[in-house]
């Protein structure tokens, strides 16, 4: 079996093995993709403060996320069409996360259903919910997640309207893929992917087809989805979900401090600083730039998580230093899934854990729960609280303007 040393190597392998429309669904952003690129690029502008002569012989990466014990502060993010990167992809990713001891979050727009994943795992997973016009269907999804034993609900707020994703439109993205001459040729060049898909009945949106009123197949699914984006969504709807859902509630899609405070006031247990992986508002701040302002604004009032651009354990440590208590990986684990299935997801997690552990040691940190802004440096000095977040974002702005 091929040995992968980095997440980038997993990405290259996934590009060779996954059909173009599904690979580019993952590896692309909206409009000019400037925010998509910034999510990763802005991590590179942050620098660590190396320390020496520190006893780091015993180190701890374990902590909690929204009350859930985790072996490291990383969860698998909710990603649509995961089961199109590899047959039964959500089940495989959930199993890998379960064995590794980190949360798996199932998307509303998954290929494998809530019940499929619940039947294949033994520990509670998390479920991500989109607010749609059909509130009755949303209530039924919440009940299904509760019945499946999901321990947290991740409510995504930044998809009231879909960003302009040029590559998806050009590729004619659909699940299952339309059998056009171009798609057939491309899929024939990915024989292992095709063999896997032929061996599973799960090839469309398992949480919706057969569950949403009138949605019985791909044609009716397309019409239904077009009508379900909800421009009327407000914080009152978040409060409604909070009343229905008795477990942990995590609100995803926060980029503004005022919205972060609103999430706390609505009773959310945690928020995710997220720009939807650069797939919604192109030109929005990268999440690592937005993160310090949000962490400063809430000041412990609500647990702060983040996603976007994380491709290594070093990125995880930088996010923790900028104010997050935990992070989510989406593209990184999807590259592993596309490259090697379940083993690839496990390898992705192993890479990130090893890189996080080693970087902590070189920074003189022995417990991930003690990471703060002093892990980072600006011109030879640590970033001391309470102005660390402000200094860090000002530094990022200066570098970007140069």
Spatial separation of the C-alpha atoms in residues 181 and 100, rounded to whole Å: 41
* Feature table: binding site for FMN: 78-80, 107, 128, 130, 156, 252, 274, 307-311, 330-331
Catalytic residue chosen out of the listed positions 47, 166, 276, 381: 276
Q: Which two tokens stand for residue 344?
A: 């690839």
Strand ranges, E, within 142-247: 152-156
- Please state, as a whole number, how many other Cβ atoms lie within 10 Å of the Cβ of residue 57: 7
Phi, psi angles (nearest 5°) of residue 316:
-60, -50
Within a domain: 273: yes
Within a domain: 95: yes
Within a domain: 125: yes
**To 5 degrees, how large is the angle CA 234–CA 240–CA 243?**
150
Spatial separation of the C-alpha atoms in residues 221 and 242, rounded to whole Å: 28
Integer angstrom CA distances of residue 32 from 117, 230, 400: 35, 25, 17
Is 381 catalytic? The answer is no
Q: Over the stretch 70-85, which tens digit does the pLDDT of each residue have?
A: 999 999 999 999 999 9
Within a domain: 377: yes
pLDDT band at residue 222 under the 50/70/90 scheme: confident
- Report the CATH number that the domain containing residue 219 is assigned in CATH: 3.20.20.70
Give the structural domain span for 326. Answer: 7-401
Query: What whole-number percentage of the chain has pLDDT above 70?
Result: 94
Mean pLDDT of the chain: 93
The region of weakest confidence among 69-83, 217-231, 266-280, 327-341 is 217-231
Within a domain: 1: no
Spatial separation of the C-alpha atoms in residues 155 and 266, rounded to whole Å: 12
* Feature table: binding site for glyoxylate: 25, 165, 276, 279
Q: Over the stretch 164-181, which tens digit does the pLDDT of each residue have?
A: 999 888 888 888 888 889
pLDDT of residue 383: 58
Using CA of residue 16, residue 20, residue 23, residue 29, what is the dihedral sign? positive
Cis upstream peptide for 176 (omega within 30°):
yes
Range 119-144 average pLDDT: 97
Within a domain: 160: yes
Q: Over the stretch 360-378, which tens digit does the pLDDT of each residue have?
A: 999 999 999 999 999 999 8
Strand ranges, E, within 109-184: 126-130, 152-156
- Terminal C-alpha separation, the chain: 45
Range 331-358 average pLDDT: 98
Within a domain: 318: yes
Within a domain: 2: no
Q: How many domains does the chain divide into?
A: 1
């Amino acid at each position: 079996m091929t040995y992968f040393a980095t997440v980038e190597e997993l990405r290259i392998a996934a590009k060779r093995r996954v059909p173009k429309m599904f690979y580019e669904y993952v590896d692309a952003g909206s409009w000019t993709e400037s925010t998509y690129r910034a999510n990763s690029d802005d991590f590179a502008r942050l620098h660590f403060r190396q320390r020496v002569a520190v006893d780091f012989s015993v180190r701890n990466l374990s902590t909690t996320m929204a009350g859930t014990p985790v072996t490291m502060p990383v969860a698998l993010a909710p990603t649509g069409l995961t089961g199109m990167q590899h047959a039964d992809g959500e089940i495989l990713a959930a199993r890998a996360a379960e064995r590794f001891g980190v949360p798996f979050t199932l998307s509303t727009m998954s290929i494998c259903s809530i019940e499929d994943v619940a039947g294949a795992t033994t520990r509670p997973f998390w479920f991500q919910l989109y607010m749609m016009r059909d509130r009755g269907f949303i209530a039924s999804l919440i009940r299904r997640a509760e019945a499946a034993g999901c321990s947290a609900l991740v409510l995504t707020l930044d998809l009231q309207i879909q960003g302009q994703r040029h590559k998806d439109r050009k590729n004619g993205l659909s699940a299952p893929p339309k059998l056009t001459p171009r798609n057939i040729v491309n899929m024939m060049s990915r024989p292992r992917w095709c063999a896997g898909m032929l061996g599973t009945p799960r090839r469309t949106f398992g949480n919706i087809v057969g569950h949403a009123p009138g949605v019985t197949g791909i044609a009716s699914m397309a019409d239904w989805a077009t009508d379900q984006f909800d421009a009327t969504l407000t914080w009152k709807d978040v409060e409604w979900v909070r009343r229905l859902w008795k477990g942990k509630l995590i609100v995803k899609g926060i980029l503004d401090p005022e919205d972060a405070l609103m999430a706390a006031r609505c009773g959310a247990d945690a928020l995710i600083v997220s720009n939807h992986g650069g797939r919604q508002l192109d030109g929005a701040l990268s999440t690592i730039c937005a993160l310090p302002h949000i962490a400063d604004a809430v000041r412990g009032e609500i647990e702060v998580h983040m996603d976007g651009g994380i491709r290594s354990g070093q990125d995880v440590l930088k996010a923790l230093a900028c104010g997050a208590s935990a992070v989510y990986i989406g593209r990184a684990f999807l590259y592993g899934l596309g490259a090697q299935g379940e083993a690839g997801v496990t390898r992705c997690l192993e890479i990130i854990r090893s890189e996080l552990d080693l970087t902590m040691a070189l920074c003189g940190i022995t417990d991930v729960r003690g990471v703060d802004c002093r892990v980072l440096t600006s011109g030879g000095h640590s970033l001391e609280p309470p102005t660390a977040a402000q200094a860090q974002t000002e530094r990022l702005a200066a570098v970007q303007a140069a």
